[in-house]
Every structure is written in structure tokens, then in C-alpha cells.
Amino acid sequence: MADIKKIGVLTSGGDAPGMNAAIRAVVRTAEYNGLQVMGIRRGYNGLINGDIFEMNARSVADTLQHGGTILQTARCDEFREPEGVRRAAEVAKIFGLEGLVVIGGDGSFRGARDLSEHGISTIGIPATIDNDIGCTEYCIGFDTAMNTAMEAIDKIRDTATSHARSSVIEVMGRDAGYIALNVAISCGAESIVIPEKEFNFDEDVLRPIIEGRHRGKKHYLVILAEGVGSAIPLAEEIQTRTGIRTTATVLGHIQRGGSPSVHDRVNASTMGFKAVETLLAGRKNRLIVMQNNKIVDIDMEEGFKQTKQISQDDIRMCEVLAW
């Protein structure tokens, strides 16, 4: 067991549903084991500016069912510079923080690694709706975001079917198509446009719509990942080329909010619990990740080197099932 008495917890980068469940698990596991826990507001900004307060089991009551993050979050430019990291490490030491749990995405973990070079034991928990962190099969928030998008698209489909229209729906994901591919499968989309697959307008979008119409289809859903382009010009092009009225919907930040799903709550709780157990066991500079469907801790530097690929089989299956 490590001789550690005080830790901090922060959320950084874009918020994700389930972050509160992770914070709650960190705070309660720490307190249960006799550690003092400090909450840091607005990510690394709060660390640099000393916006730090003591938390306990009661300060995280009634939080796990809510979206967003009770600690608030930010992307911190100052922390990208060595001077910002040095300042943050100094503040961490003033507050007596021996360990730090960082809940966020890839960029947040690189910040954690920089801090660890100043002697602070850091643990990263992956949280981003984009699910684009190479070393983990799952990131907190991904499941809820997909469910939110799916529910919205089901509604769009009702009206698209009634009018035999085409609909282009743009979903989030930054440079990755994980949300797009999964909601396309779950909503029965005719076509998916994602960064991981080369895109040919005539072949990938027009052909499924025109052939689908000949086979008696009543709606044509195109799921577009934001990393490829925008819904409005794509919808205009479809309407011009097919004569079918085509609407464009950008789901936007609705995908990032809302009450976390069971999957996100359970995994976020497990990851928060494991983060503190890892620190207590004396393991430092680790990432808590899902690999082979199990939540485990891995070396941070090793994690940075790992990559993952979207399933080409799933892309093909989505196309076949749209028949």
C-alpha cells in the first residue's frame, strides 16, 4: 500500500455524461479508505489558479444521475506551456496533493503526464463522447451520446417516412466516426459518411437513395460524422440530384448532455473506484481503460502508443442491412 493521504480530482476537455458518477466514485472510495479528497474546478485552470475545495461523501450525493460535471470543465491553453504545468505542480504541492485523478480525453492525459514529471502521481480516466482514445474500447459518455442521437433520429425518421423524404443528420465525434457508425446501425440508416471510410457521393449516398426508392423504401437516412463535413450542403446536393425533398439536422450539443445511461453510470463508477485503488496500491501514472471488455489499469506512456480502428465489418454490415 502507498503512503498517500491527499488526492485531487478534476474534469477536463469536453464534458461527458457519466463524469459525475466517476467523480462520486473517486470521492467515496478515497474517503472510505481514509484519504482526503480535493475537488478542482474547471480542469487545469482551477489547478493553476488554486480553485480547489475539500469534498466528502455527502458533497457528491444526488450527482450520479446528472449529465455535465459538478466540477465544471475547460480546455486550458496556459497548461499547454511548460510554465503553466510548473505553476500547476507548485499549486498542487501547496495544497498537499500527492495524487491526481484526471477525468477527460487524450489532451487531458498528456497534461497529467506532464504533471507527473513534477512528482505528482496521476491517474487518467477516459471520458469523451467521441470514444476516440486509442487504448480503450470505451470512454465515459459514449453510450449516452449514442442513445441521445438514436432517439432524436428515430423521431426524424417518423416524419421522413410519412413524407417519403430524405434526411441528413450530422452527429458529433470530432475526427472519429464511432457515434455515427453505431447510430447508423441502430437507426437503420441508408448511408453513413465517416472519416474512416473514403467517401464517394454518387456511390455512397446517391446510389443507396435511388436504389432504395426503386425497392419501395419510404425514407432515406444519411448519417454524417461532423469530421467529414456539414449536413446542409450535403442535403442540398441530394435534393438537387434526386428531386427528393431532403432535410438537414445538426444534432450538436444535445448529444453531450442529459442523464447518463446505465452503461455509462456503471463503467464510470468502476473506473473511479479503480483509479483510487490503483493510487492506493502505489501504482502511478496509469490510465484506467477498458480492454477485452474488462476495466484495467495500464501504463500511461504505453497507453499513448496504442491505437484502435473502427470496425470495417460493422461498416459493411450497416450497408448490407440498409438493403
Q: C-beta of 267: minimal distance to ligand F6P in Å?
A: 17
| b/e 55-91 (16+ beta carbons within 10 angstroms → b) | beeebbeebbebbbbbbbbbbbeebeeeebbebbbeb
Q: C-beta of 144: minimal distance to ligand F6P in Å?
A: 12
Question: Which residue type, as a one-letter code, is found at position 146?
Answer: M
Quote the cell numbers at residue 222: 444519411
Would you count residue 194 as binding ligand F6P (CB under 6 A)? no
Gap between the Cα atoms of 165 and 176, Å rounded: 27
Please confirm, yes or no, whether 106 is among the known catalytic residues. no
- Applying CB under 6 A, which of residues 6, 118, 174, 241 lies at the interface with ligand F6P? 174
Would you count residue 43 as binding ligand F6P (CB under 6 A)? no
Gap between the Cα atoms of 237 and 249, Å rounded: 15
- Applying CB under 6 A, which of residues 128, 136, 144, 147 lies at the interface with ligand F6P? 128
Instruction: Using the rule CB under 6 A, give the single segment among 59-67, 171-179, 234-242, 262-270 that binds ligand F6P.
Output: 171-179
Per the listing, cell 450527482 goes with 63
Would you count residue 130 as binding ligand F6P (CB under 6 A)? yes
Instruction: Using the rule CB under 6 A, give the single segment among 55-63, 167-175, 217-225, 291-299 that binds ligand F6P.
Output: 167-175
Per the listing, cell 484506467 goes with 288
Instruction: Give the residue among 100, 103, 97 at the shortest CA–CA distance from 122.
Output: 100
Gap between the Cα atoms of 74 and 86, Å rounded: 19
Strand order, beta sheet including 220-225? 191-193, 220-225, 166-171, 246-250
- Applying CB under 6 A, which of residues 47, 92, 150, 172 lies at the interface with ligand F6P? 172
Kindly tell me which of 41 and 256 has the beta carbon lying closer to ligand F6P.
256
Gap between the Cα atoms of 166 and 15, Å rounded: 32
Instruction: Using the rule CB under 6 A, give the single segment among 124-132, 257-265, 281-289, 308-316 that binds ligand F6P.
Output: 124-132
Kindly tell me which of 178 and 273 has the beta carbon lying closer to ligand F6P.
178
Contact letters (x/-) for ligand F6P, 228-267, by CB under 6 A? ----------------------------x-----------
Half-sphere exposure of 179 (CA within 13 A, CB side): 34
Q: C-beta of 130: minimal distance to ligand F6P in Å?
A: 5
Contacts of 111 (CB under 8 A, 6+ apart): 12, 44, 76, 79, 80, 85, 102
Instruction: Using the rule CB under 6 A, give the single segment among 28-36, 169-177, 282-290, 292-300 that binds ligand F6P.
Output: 169-177
Q: C-beta of 16: minimal distance to ligand F6P in Å?
A: 7
Size of the residue set binding ligand F6P (CB under 6 A): 9
Gap between the Cα atoms of 74 and 88, Å rounded: 15
Would you count residue 14 as binding ligand F6P (CB under 6 A)? yes
Gap between the Cα atoms of 20 and 39, Å rounded: 12
Choose, from 15, 130, 132, 297, the residue flagged as catalytic: 130
Kindly tell me which of 165 and 256 has the beta carbon lying closer to ligand F6P.
256
Q: Catalytic residue positions?
A: 130
Residues in contact with ligand F6P by CB under 6 A are 14, 128-130, 172-174, 226, 256
